[in-house]
Structure 1
């Protein structure tokens, strides 16, 4: 059995993926997607001055990398505590759901685990879970966030 965890900052989703992989002796891959869609989302800055847009895009890029480091580190601690050897991947995509679906198609996974609502990049404002569920080639386990 192969499990893919779509990484965001949900501790519950991480814990559930580690638990399920441990119980079933499954391979676990965690995928963090760097959202590069901000440049499309914010549009043009022809009225804002020459550096406003580029400075914001630099900020979002740096923030994406910081989130990646923190999220991957949190997941690695959980996996190591459970004695699991996991694969951690990072993908770059204009849209996060597209990157998750591409990994599912390439990897031959049996189950996808993701938080609901899923919070990564611009997906905070969109319904990534529904987009993934409609096209996922495998079972999908949503883990509700503690609010």
Structure 2
């Protein structure tokens, strides 16, 4: 089976290695467009709230730390995708911003996405606890083809 456009979630960790490898293989077999996507999670400020009991700079310091960590993870994801996609005719990396599950669900259900491949532990490296159920949420609300891998 050939797919015109394959989308794969990439987070720069081993958690998405199987999904990325499978996506690369399918793209190569069908001469498909392959897009890797990483989502910068903007939900940390809401997750930690405003009621910090320590110094006034502690909250901002934590959010700055998370921001640096996500920037590094985005760079690792780009490198991971670039290495995996070497030799493919049409491959691109996309950096998105927002709630990862909402962004991925929107891209999954986009009519231009023929197949979305997601590793069940992708984005759990430094993600909020809510991302542990991302695969289940994507599967529950998918209107387009979704391939979940361990």
TM-score, scaled to structure 2 = 0.86
Q: 1:107 to 1:48 in 2, by over 3 A?
A: farther
The farther-off stretch of 105-114 and 30-39 is 105-114
Q: Does 1:109 align with 2:142?
A: no
Q: 1:73 to 1:107 in 2, by over 3 A?
A: farther
Where does the alignment leave 5 or more consecutive residues of structure 2 unmatched? none
Cα distance, 1:124 vs structure 2: 6.9
RMSD: 1.7
Output the CA distance in 1 between the equivalents of 2:111 and 2:57: 40
Output the CA distance in 1 between the equivalents of 2:38 and 2:91: 13
**How many residues get paired?**
142
Match of 1:58 among 60, 64, 71: 64
Match of 1:118 among 114, 118, 122: 122
Instruction: Please give the secondary structure, in 2, of the residue aligned with 1:72.
Output: helix
CA contact (8 A) 2:115 2:144 kept: yes
CA contact (8 A) 2:10 2:36 kept: yes
Q: Does 1:3 align with 2:6?
A: yes
Cα distance, 1:96 vs structure 2: 0.8
Structural mapping, 1:6-17, within 5 Å? 6-8=9-11, 9=13, 10-17=16-23
Match of 1:96 among 80, 100, 106: 100
